[in-house]
Amino acid sequence: MDPSDDTTLRDELHALATPAGDALRAHRVQRSRTAAVPRAVQLLVVAPLLYLVLCLLLRGLGVDFGMAWWIVAALSIPVPVVYLGIAGERAGKAPISDVAALTLIDDGLGLQDRLSSAREYLDAEAPTPFMQAAIEDAHNHTQQAQGFELAPESSRAQLSWRDLAWPAAGALAFFLATLIDSPAPTHAGPKLGVPAGDGPIAAAERLSTPDADITGRTEPKVQKKPESQRDPSSEEAKRGDAGVDSDRTKKSRGQIGRGKSSTAQSTSGRSSGDGEATDQAQPTKGGAEKPKKPKKQKPAKKRTAKKANKTPKTDKNSVASSGQGRGQGSSKSPTASDWTSKDQSIADDEDELEDEDDVDDEDEESDARGGLQPSLRQRKPPVNRDLTLGFGGGPPPPHANGRGGPGLPKKQRGVAQLVLGIPYPDQITGKPNAGRTKVTQERIEPQAQETNVVPAEARLERSSPLGHLSRPVLTPWMQDLVRAFQKTAQATLSETLNKTQKTNARSKHD
Amino acid sequence: MTDNKAAKQDAEDFRAAHAKIKTEVQRFIVGQEPVIDAALTGLLAGGHVMLEGVPGLGKTMLVRAIGEAVDIGFSRIQFTPDLMPADIQGTNVLVEHEGGGHEVTFQQGPLVSNLILADEINRATPRTQSALLEAMQENQISVAGRVIKLEEPYCVMATQNPIEQEGTYPLPEAQLDRFLMKIVVGYPDEQDYEAIIDRTTGGEDPEINKVSSGEEIRRYRRTIRSVPIPQRVKQYAIHLVMGTQPGSDFACGLVNNAVALGASPRGAQGLMLAGKVRALLDGRFSVSVDDVSKSALDVLRHRVLISFHGQAEGVTPDNVVEAVLQHIKPPTD
């Protein structure tokens, strides 16, 4: 392929790419603007928001700021429009190469990237034979691309609900700003102490509830003082009032929200009161009118039973405890006295629940044992374990039922029990019950015993002297005896040999 | 000008040879034209091909037909669970001389050939499957203290059955990645059944002529590698490969959710090679975006490993590749 052909093809392709590039640029501008629409919609909130902030600032400074609403509405439109314009302008300024433009033609005409590839290969420093063939192939298809027009692209912006929330927020900001900016009906309102925004209905409500109004008005001023700057006399005066409308005081303080719980407030406020029950102190519901039932005779329930015996006193204490937080000079935090009210208020319910649970458990147990079992819940008072001083023989305690617990003599045993009331272990010597004897046998598994392993070796001839051999020294009489035995044996042997020889000789002669 | 004409001639020869081989194979195989094209693409592009399909669709017959149509060495290995690497690579054996005496000689296995039919490759143990790795990638075998260079063209065409997975050993990812294409063989069309019946139950056995040679195949391989690739197409192929990798910038939601492992750079190489063959067969001298996108399914499906989550949701590698193709648009600039 000649270089002149290359130049011709380059010009042809450039001529094809120029209008395609313009069309592509227009597409890009359109596409970028479409893509920018959601952000532009979000920008609708800018002007109303600024308007709202401005109104709030000027209102705070006391400057009367009156701006016509239509000015703000008119200002809110240009911001997104300018944004769209900038986005489109930026996309339009991006350079478009001939290859990119020819790609559009290839795609539009189904040329399988012939033109764009050829344009790329034209710029190659050393085109290969196949590149040249591709360029020549593209040359044959340029006529086909003449007059190609890129189809206009119709793109529609996709707005989500989140995008639409922004203009809604702008409208809301605009509405609020309009409300703030509108002239107030009476400018003397704030001077009289009526908060801005309070209407006549709220004022009428305050008038109808004077106490609440008083606390509501006066408390904030008092609360703003620090703790150390409080006047004790004024505190005392307030406490006098607090006995009357303690609940309201408590509520109002709770509304102020100084970080203390309402329980703490009421507890400290009760210190000089008459002992009336507050909301936190337990009412006399479960005390004076209805004495507590004695609970189960479990050790854990003793305290509850004791409480039942001393119900009126306990109730009184409960009331007092709820009001004695500071009055008794305790260094504890007021909140520390909370346990009394909690304990008293919850005890009844918890015990009732436990009772029900226990009854259910016993029913289940008796069913599991296969029949009706005697009830273990006798509902009798527990054994009196009062270790008071006394010396035997007296009448049995009125609550004794004979079901365990130390009797009177046992109670009196030991100085410690008598004097100090310390439980003393009862030790009685005796023999154990002669019942069955359990014989246990241990089976001992044989265990390997570690020993030194002697390696086997061949037995060789002795090379060293045997050493000293002990010879038993016989007594003389035994030496004589042995000697006589040996002589007799030898004599007998020789005699036998002689007889044998003689016999043999006779037989030979015969 | 001369170079230009030579390139055109090479491309023309390639198309003619491809057509001849295809015609011969089609005397044996009815229908399945895309499968034949893909198998020939693998052979001509210098890659290895995996054929997957249920029994009876002619996978083995297709490879045999290609082996007969091209005058190159052909060996068939039937993979079984007790097949050992030495059975396919070769081993030292003790040979008795006629005049007496013994000698240890190396007897090469069926892997030393040009076109290898690895039939039911997933029935062999991973040990034996791995014996193919070096041969497929390096075109050589290291066995019994020696290295055997395999002669070009070298092509492994493996078949496997997607069902009856009991007693099979799925190919490891490292080996799957070495296949250029994985072709899914489907059932023939209705009209193809009649021709199949006529050809296979008649009295005549079709004979396949050798219409090409190993030397020609080697030349066509060089021709294919001479086809240029525009920058845009390269970028598109790279984006496609990266689009299969979960967590990449080009991954779509399905890939991030259902893919455990995406395609490797071998995937991009495969896309380019397959695209070049397509471009030449289409009469063009340069690869286009369409060539890449049309090859993507065969080239990428076996390189995508579906995660457990994806398998639970019934996602297949084909779903993933199709989703990637829809997600990745060709670069415009």
**CB–CB of B7 and A129 under 8 A?**
yes
The 10 Å CB-count burial string (b at 16+, else e) for A1-26 is: beeeebeebbebbeebbeebbebbbb
Helix (H) or strand (E) holding A46: helix A46-61
Of B231, B284, B285, the CB nearest to A120: B231
**Which residue in chain A has the smallest CA separation from B278?**
A112
**CB–CB of A134 and B284 under 8 A?**
yes
CATH number at B1-225: 3.40.50.300
Average pLDDT over residues A53-69: 75
From the CA of B283, how many Å to the nearest CA of chain A?
10
**CB–CB of A104 and B1 under 8 A?**
no
Of A1, A106, A130, the CB nearest to B227: A130
Average pLDDT over residues A422-436: 58
**CB–CB of A131 and B285 under 8 A?**
yes
**Strand B181-184's sheet: what is its strand order?**
B74-78, B115-119, B155-160, B49-52, B181-184
Task: Encode A342-404 in three state secondary structure.
Answer: HHHHHHHHHHHHHHHHHHHHHHHHHHHCCCCCCCCCCCCCCCCCCCCCCCCCCCCCCCCCCCC
Q: Is the pLDDT of residue B294 over 60?
A: yes
Identify the CA nearest to B273 among candidates B46, B1, B6, B4: B46
- Alpha helices of chain B — where are they, by DSSP H? 2-28, 33-45, 59-69, 85-89, 126-138, 173-176, 190-201, 214-226, 231-243, 253-258, 265-281, 289-300, 308-312, 317-327
Which residues in chain B are contacts of A150 at CB distance < 8 A? none
Confidence label for B48 from pLDDT (cuts 50, 70 and 90): very high
The DSSP output letter for B149 is E
Q: Alpha carbon of B197 to those of A336, B61, B190: distances in Å?
A: 98, 15, 12
Ranges of each domain in chain A: 3-176, 194-227, 291-325+336-379, 383-424
* Rounded Cα–Cα distance for residues A361 and A97 (Å): 89
CATH assignment of B227-333, given 1.25.40.10, 1.20.950.20, 1.10.8.80, 3.30.450.20? 1.10.8.80
Report which of residues A223 and A12 the model is more confident about.
A12
Confidence label for A436 from pLDDT (cuts 50, 70 and 90): low
What pLDDT is stored for residue A465 in this prediction?
79
Q: State which of A60-69, B161-170, B320-329 shows the largest mean pLDDT.
A: B320-329
Q: Is the pLDDT of residue A248 over 50?
A: no
Mind listing the pLDDT tens digit for each residue in A93-143? 777 788 888 888 888 788 888 888 888 888 888 888 888 888 888 888 887
What pLDDT is stored for residue A433 in this prediction?
57
Confidence label for B236 from pLDDT (cuts 50, 70 and 90): very high
What pLDDT is stored for residue A239 in this prediction?
44
Q: Is the dihedral of CA B94, B97, B100, B105 positive or negative?
A: negative
What pLDDT is stored for residue A215 in this prediction?
40
Q: State which of A424-428, B33-37, B100-104, B196-200 shows the largest mean pLDDT.
A: B33-37
Average pLDDT over residues B265-292: 93
Task: Find the range with the poorest average confidence among A174-188, A225-239, B231-245.
Answer: A225-239
Q: Is the pLDDT of residue A205 over 60?
A: no
Task: Find the range with the poorest average confidence among A175-179, A323-327, A418-422, B165-169.
Answer: A323-327
Mean pLDDT score across all residues of chain B: 89
- Percentage of chain B with pLDDT > 90? 45
Confidence label for A285 from pLDDT (cuts 50, 70 and 90): very low
Start and end residues for every CATH 3.40.50.300 domain found in chain B: 1-225
Contact at 8 Å (CB) between A184 and A196?
A: yes
**CB–CB of B6 and A129 under 8 A?**
yes
Q: Which residues lie across from B102 on neighbouring strands?
A: B96
Q: Is the pLDDT of residue A207 over 70?
A: no
**Which residue in chain B has the smallest CA separation from A1?**
B1
Q: Is the pLDDT of residue A502 over 90?
A: no
**CB–CB of A128 and B226 under 8 A?**
yes
Identify residues of B whose CB sits under 8 angstroms from chain A CBs: 1, 3-4, 6-8, 11, 226-228, 230-233, 279, 282, 284-291, 330, 332-333
* Rounded Cα–Cα distance for residues B14 and A69 (Å): 78
Q: Is B144 exposed, middle or buried (0-12, 13-18, 19+ CB in 10 A)?
A: middle
Report which of residues B154 and B31 the model is more confident about.
B154
- Percentage of chain A with pLDDT > 90? 0
Q: Which of A2, A96, A117, A119 to probe the B interface (max B CBs under 10 A)? A: A117
What pLDDT is stored for residue A191 in this prediction?
39
Start and end residues for every CATH 1.10.8.80 domain found in chain B: 227-333
Mean pLDDT score across all residues of chain A: 64
**CB–CB of B288 and A128 under 8 A?**
no
Confidence label for B267 from pLDDT (cuts 50, 70 and 90): very high
Q: Alpha carbon of A396 to those of A384, A401, A412, B277: distances in Å?
A: 10, 9, 13, 116
Mind listing the pLDDT tens digit for each residue in B172-196? 888 889 999 999 988 888 888 888 8
**CB–CB of B333 and A96 under 8 A?**
yes
What pLDDT is stored for residue A328 in this prediction?
43
What pLDDT is stored for residue A218 in this prediction?
38
